[in-house]
């Protein structure tokens, strides 16, 4: 009985060795197909992420442009008025823009310093540099 079982076990090992090249071939083909599918979906995921990143960059640039607009508007008001005071719109802008996590903290702090009494010119004369630094291509 033991010899018969050993014989069957030996036969099983031989069959396994005979079939191994076929199994390897199937595994190689499977891996090739998986890579092909992954490549296809990686491309689709990249396209979606690229679109999302473009929208995010556009929104971020709009935030920076709004900063430039509010500073420019406030500066123009100061130049056209003998009795200049920071406008409520400027203060509201500073409070609302701080809610956007992506808005640079440095710019929020600049607005805050103007509200606390620093001249608006301190930002106005830096606007070109600020745009170069923060606007995304």
Which of 16 and 64 is assigned the larger pLDDT? 64
pLDDT for 54:
95
Q: Please report, rounded to a whole number, the percentage of residues in the chain having pLDDT higher than 70.
A: 100
Mean pLDDT across the chain? 92
> Average pLDDT in the 111-123 region?
93
Q: Which pLDDT tens digit goes with each residue over 43-54?
A: 889 988 999 999
pLDDT for 10:
87
Give CA angle at 61 (58, 67), nearest 5°. Answer: 145
CA distance 94 to 120: 13
This model's pTM is above 0.85: no
Q: Which pLDDT tens digit goes with each residue over 20-33?
A: 999 999 999 999 99
> Average pLDDT in the 118-132 region?
94
């Amino acid at each position: 009985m033991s010899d018969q079982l050993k014989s069957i076990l030996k036969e099983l090992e031989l069959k396994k060795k005979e079939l191994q090249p076929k199994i390897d071939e199937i595994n190689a083909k499977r891996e090739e197909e998986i890579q092909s599918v992954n490549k296809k979906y990686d491309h689709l995921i990249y396209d979606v992420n690229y679109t999302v990143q473009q929208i995010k960059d556009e929104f971020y640039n709009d935030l920076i442009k709004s900063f430039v607009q509010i500073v420019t508007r406030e500066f123009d008001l100061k130049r056209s008025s003998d009795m200049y005071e920071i406008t409520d719109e400027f203060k509201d802008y500073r409070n609302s823009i701080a809610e956007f996590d992506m808005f640079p903290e440095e710019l929020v702090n600049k607005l805050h310093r103007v509200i606390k009494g620093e001249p608006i010119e301190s930002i106005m004369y830096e606007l070109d540099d600020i745009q170069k630094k923060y606007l995304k291509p």
